[in-house]
Chains A and B, each alone.
Chain A
Amino acid sequence: MKKINIYLLLLGFLLVLSCSKDKSNYDYSEKEHIDIEGIESKYTVISLKDTLKISPSAKSNKEGELEYRWGFYETNVQGRSEPLDTISRNQNLSYYITEDAKDWVVVCIVKNKKTGYTQYKNATVTVSTQFTRGWYVLKDDGNNSDLDLHLTPQNNVVNGKIENVYSTANNQKIAGKANFISFSSSYKSNVLNPSSYSNTRALFLVTEKDIQAINVNNLKKIRDKQNLFLGGPQTISGTTGAFVGSSANYILNNGQLYNIYAMSANTGQFGNKAMIDGKNSAYELSKFMISGASNDPILFDNLGGNFVTLANGSGSSMTIFSNDATNDFSTTNNNQKALFLGMKSNIYLPAPDYYYKTVGYAILQDKTDPSLKSLCTLEKNKFVLKIKKDSIGPSSKLYEASLHTLLFEDENLLYFVNNNQVYSRNLSNGFEQLQFSTAGGEQVTFIKHLKYSESGYAFNFVVIGTKIGSNYKIKMFTKNSGNLDSNPVQTLEGTGIARSLIYIAPSVSDYTYPWSY
């Protein structure tokens, strides 16, 4: 090709490329920034009582008048999309709180009207109601159940009480003796918006005759045995319970497991009972669970002697744990009955493991020879359960124990009740020690180790519930090296027989407590 042709070809290319738009920035002045001062990172308010007042100041390094706009939006939303609501266009915010109890975000948006430059700053607004913080006690009178709420308005010290708060809100008590109380922040209901089902902070009240989900904001019943199950009304009987696992809400009724897979759209109704195997063999789960929002539960089938779980919170059939090669007990057909299961720790293992290692304990009784009892360490590695057995001798106080609780991720102790006296057992060496004796006529109705870490409200208590006549006392002890301090930090009192309790606050979520006895 002649040179001239090459030049013409190049000229043609240049012509094609020569028309690109110039997008260069020739502005060499300092970039604008707006500083917003006077906004805290977090506010705590009570719905229908408090007015959120914030007086910020803002200044820009450029000339121009600043205009303010305040937005408010919801967090932990699932199942719907909430817009940013504009709640004020003034510099100083004064906003009467009517929102539901949970965490919200307030946004201050400042715009330079001259340049159009905009800056914003967020703050978390924790909205409470009178029902959203305090100790809930599930109690009964021998026939029907109710809730007492012991208020903790300033810190973890109780100051005030609302008795029979469930029946006050719902005009009736719950049928049956109280059994267990639990909480879920991922339970779906349409109480906020009738046309869509979204996360609702709910208490699960479990009695011998009913299981109810109630709205923590106002304690109104959301569902009960009449409509809690997709299959229609159910008779509640036998072993009952309610707890949270990874991606799922669970219910136990008559020893059968029901679940809601919380990560997909649902109406807050529990599905069909889970099968224990592909043959739909009969089973009867104990009431004890080792569960948490970050792991699948460990459950025990008293009928077949099987340790089981429901993988990933979904599916029609449970999984029987596989055996570790060193197991002292088999995970299946082990001819045992569970007297207790509890969670001791739940630790996330980083790379290369990427799973939560759950450690728990089980007290098992041989079904052929009931005099044989064992304290077993359980270590869950995904779907493998390592079981190490330690026989419980008849001379041990633990041998005849009736109630148990483990010190979760604290001292290596198991607390238990024998003849209305509370003992501890060192899980490393078996040493047993009396920790608390009841006064004359006082009966222990439950014990529980509970700890909570919210700043200003944090606690770490061993809780002992007792019954004296027709009244209850719930004593909350701190501990020193695993031993109870001589006097309780506080004692909650009320009428009825207390069976279970939980501390609820706006920041309590599925992940706050292990779901276990």
Chain B
Amino acid sequence: MKPYFILIIVGIACISFISCKKDQYYIFDDIPRVQFGPPISTLKLNEYTDSLKSETFFYESQDTKQDTVYFDIYTVGETSKKDRKYQLQQVQLQGIENAVPGKHFIPFDDPAVADLYVIKSDSVHARVPIVILRDGELKSKTVNLGISIVANANFAIGEPTKSWRKLQFTDRLSQPNAWTASYSTYYFGAYSVRKHEFMIEVTAQRWDQNFIATLPLDQMNYYKSVLGMAVIDYNKQHPDAPLRAENGDLITFPN
């Protein structure tokens, strides 16, 4: 028998002996990281929930000069016995109107808010407050705030797809977050500010985030029917000026 043949047999035997080794656990040995995520209540539903939020001062009294919108942020890695600051920055969004620091929102490094961007000790999650300001020009425009995580001494950046958030805000009616694509498809059609106003006029309901997000299915269908009928009646009463969205499209509701 040739020597290499014996070697192969021995090799196979060795492989056979070591092939049943117990699997090892993978221990996290990376540096601490931080990344955005969905609210805790929807953590198991869709990890990309809330990457884009909208807010409006429209429903607030004129005394209200600022408001706070919250995102959610999560750490990756072990917890710490100390509070750990994380850092955010505004990123300029292409092709749309960007919010102006100090005018439309309080900058993240402003002493008034800088200490709020912190992961508490023994915690893996925090709510990220974005303080927006009710500037007069928001009555006629919507501004956009791009937010991204900046690496600092405490945290590196987590998954790139979860390192950013976007916030749109205005003092006009705006599309609530709960008015999703499926909401448009099955219930109320394409969003427009004029349609939104019409819905409020006809039903005397707020049609804000909370109202839409908590509307039971049978009431959703009820309002869909009421609004569809109301548009038809409006157009019959205004044959020369049917109800149109701000982009000129005729306003309709799915049957």
Residues of A within 8 A of B (CB): 4, 8, 11-12, 15, 19, 230-231, 260-261, 264-267, 269, 271-272, 274-275, 278-280, 314-317
Q: How far is the CA of A261 from the CA of B236 in the complex (A)?
A: 29
CB pair B229–A275 under 8 Å, yes or no, is yes
List B12-56 residues whose CB lies under 8 Å from chain A: 12, 15-16, 20
CB pair A8–B8 under 8 Å, yes or no, is yes
CB pair B222–A8 under 8 Å, yes or no, is no
Q: How far is the CA of A75 from the CA of B218 in the complex (A)?
A: 24
Measured CB to CB, the closest approach of chain A to B70, in angstroms, equals: 30
In the bound complex, residues from chain B placing their C-beta under 8 Å from that of A275 are 228-229, 232
Given contacts A8-B12, A316-B229, are A280 and B236 in contact (CB under 8 A)? yes
**Of the residues A15, A19, A266, A317, contact of B12 by C-beta under 8 Å:** A15
In the bound complex, residues from chain B placing their C-beta under 8 Å from that of A260 are 218
**Of the residues A11, A271, A280, A314, contact of B222 by C-beta under 8 Å:** A271
Given contacts A8-B8, A279-B236, are A266 and B218 in contact (CB under 8 A)? yes
Given contacts A266-B218, A317-B255, are A4 and B229 in contact (CB under 8 A)? no
CB pair A4–B5 under 8 Å, yes or no, is yes
Could you write out 15 A-B pairs with CB less than 8 Å apart?
A8-B5, A11-B12, A230-B222, A261-B221, A264-B218, A265-B216, A267-B216, A272-B226, A275-B232, A278-B232, A278-B255, A280-B232, A280-B233, A315-B255, A316-B228
In the bound complex, residues from chain A placing their C-beta under 8 Å from that of B224 are 316
Q: Select the residue from B16, B224, B225, B255 with max chain A CB neighbours within 10 A.
A: B225
Q: How far is the CA of A3 from the CA of B5 in the complex (A)?
A: 12
Given contacts A8-B12, A315-B255, A317-B255, are A269 and B218 in contact (CB under 8 A)? yes
Q: How far is the CA of A231 from the CA of B5 in the complex (A)?
A: 88
Q: How far is the CA of A316 from the CA of B255 in the complex (A)?
A: 6
CB pair A266–B217 under 8 Å, yes or no, is yes
Q: Select the residue from B9, B16, B232 with max chain A CB neighbours within 10 A.
A: B232
In the bound complex, residues from chain A placing their C-beta under 8 Å from that of B5 are 4, 8
Measured CB to CB, the closest approach of chain A to B64, in angstroms, equals: 31
Q: How far is the CA of A272 from the CA of B218 in the complex (A)?
A: 10
In the bound complex, residues from chain B placing their C-beta under 8 Å from that of A267 are 216, 218
In the bound complex, residues from chain A placing their C-beta under 8 Å from that of B232 are 275, 278-280
Q: How far is the CA of A267 from the CA of B229 in the complex (A)?
A: 22
CB pair B225–A280 under 8 Å, yes or no, is no
Cβ of B219 within 8 Å of any chain A Cβ, yes or no, is yes
Q: How far is the CA of A266 from the CA of B222 in the complex (A)?
A: 11
Q: How far is the CA of A279 from the CA of B242 in the complex (A)?
A: 13
Measured CB to CB, the closest approach of chain B to A358, in angstroms, equals: 24
Measured CB to CB, the closest approach of chain A to B10, in angstroms, equals: 12
Which chain B residue has the least Cβ–Cβ distance from A271? B222
Measured CB to CB, the closest approach of chain A to B212, in angstroms, equals: 16
Q: How far is the CA of A317 from the CA of B231 in the complex (A)?
A: 14
7 closest Cβ contacts across the A-B interface?
A272-B225, A266-B218, A316-B225, A230-B222, A280-B232, A271-B222, A272-B226
Chain B: residues with Cβ within 8 Å of the partner, total of: 22
Q: How far is the CA of A261 from the CA of B233 in the complex (A)?
A: 25
CB pair B216–A280 under 8 Å, yes or no, is no
In the bound complex, residues from chain B placing their C-beta under 8 Å from that of A265 are 216-218
Q: How far is the CA of A390 from the CA of B236 in the complex (A)?
A: 40
**Of the residues A4, A19, A230, contact of B218 by C-beta under 8 Å:** A230
Which chain A residue has the least Cβ–Cβ distance from B217? A265
In the bound complex, residues from chain B placing their C-beta under 8 Å from that of A272 are 222, 225-226, 229
In the bound complex, residues from chain B placing their C-beta under 8 Å from that of A266 are 217-218
CB pair B236–A271 under 8 Å, yes or no, is no
The 8 A CB mask of B193-231 against A (1 = contact, 0 = none) is 000000000000000000000001111011011101100
Which chain B residue has the least Cβ–Cβ distance from A280? B232
Measured CB to CB, the closest approach of chain A to B113, in angstroms, equals: 41
**A267-B216, A315-B255 provided; 13 other pairs, C-beta below 8 A?**
A4-B5, A8-B5, A8-B9, A11-B12, A15-B12, A15-B15, A19-B20, A230-B218, A272-B222, A272-B229, A274-B225, A275-B232, A314-B221
Q: How far is the CA of A249 from the CA of B236 in the complex (A)?
A: 31
Which chain B residue has the least Cβ–Cβ distance from A12? B12
Q: How far is the CA of A274 from the CA of B221 in the complex (A)?
A: 12
Given contacts A266-B217, A278-B232, are A231 and B16 in contact (CB under 8 A)? no
Q: Select the residue from A15, A280, A314, A315 with max chain B CB neighbours within 10 A.
A: A280
The 8 A CB mask of B166-191 against A (1 = contact, 0 = none) is 00000000000000000000000000
In the bound complex, residues from chain A placing their C-beta under 8 Å from that of B233 are 280
Measured CB to CB, the closest approach of chain B to A140, in angstroms, equals: 32
**Of the residues A8, A230, A278, contact of B219 by C-beta under 8 Å:** A230
CB pair B225–A271 under 8 Å, yes or no, is yes
Q: How far is the CA of A8 from the CA of B8 in the complex (A)?
A: 8
Which chain A residue has the least Cβ–Cβ distance from B2? A4
CB pair A271–B229 under 8 Å, yes or no, is no
In the bound complex, residues from chain A placing their C-beta under 8 Å from that of B216 are 265, 267
Measured CB to CB, the closest approach of chain A to B17, in angstroms, equals: 11
Q: How far is the CA of A316 from the CA of B225 in the complex (A)?
A: 5
Which chain A residue has the least Cβ–Cβ distance from B16? A15
Q: How far is the CA of A317 from the CA of B229 in the complex (A)?
A: 9
Q: How far is the CA of A265 from the CA of B217 in the complex (A)?
A: 7
In the bound complex, residues from chain A placing their C-beta under 8 Å from that of B226 are 231, 272
Which chain B residue has the least Cβ–Cβ distance from A260? B218
List B229-249 residues whose CB lies under 8 Å from chain A: 229, 232-233, 236
Q: How far is the CA of A19 from the CA of B16 in the complex (A)?
A: 10
Q: How far is the CA of A63 from the CA of B233 in the complex (A)?
A: 79
Which chain B residue has the least Cβ–Cβ distance from A261? B221
CB pair B217–A264 under 8 Å, yes or no, is yes
In the bound complex, residues from chain A placing their C-beta under 8 Å from that of B9 are 8
In the bound complex, residues from chain B placing their C-beta under 8 Å from that of A274 are 225
Measured CB to CB, the closest approach of chain A to B189, in angstroms, equals: 13
Q: How far is the CA of A275 from the CA of B228 in the complex (A)?
A: 10
In the bound complex, residues from chain B placing their C-beta under 8 Å from that of A279 are 232, 236
In the bound complex, residues from chain B placing their C-beta under 8 Å from that of A317 are 255
In the bound complex, residues from chain B placing their C-beta under 8 Å from that of A11 are 12
In the bound complex, residues from chain B placing their C-beta under 8 Å from that of A15 are 12, 15-16
In the bound complex, residues from chain B placing their C-beta under 8 Å from that of A278 are 232, 255
Q: Select the residue from A8, A230, A264, A314 with max chain B CB neighbours within 10 A.
A: A230
Measured CB to CB, the closest approach of chain B to A449, in angstroms, equals: 35
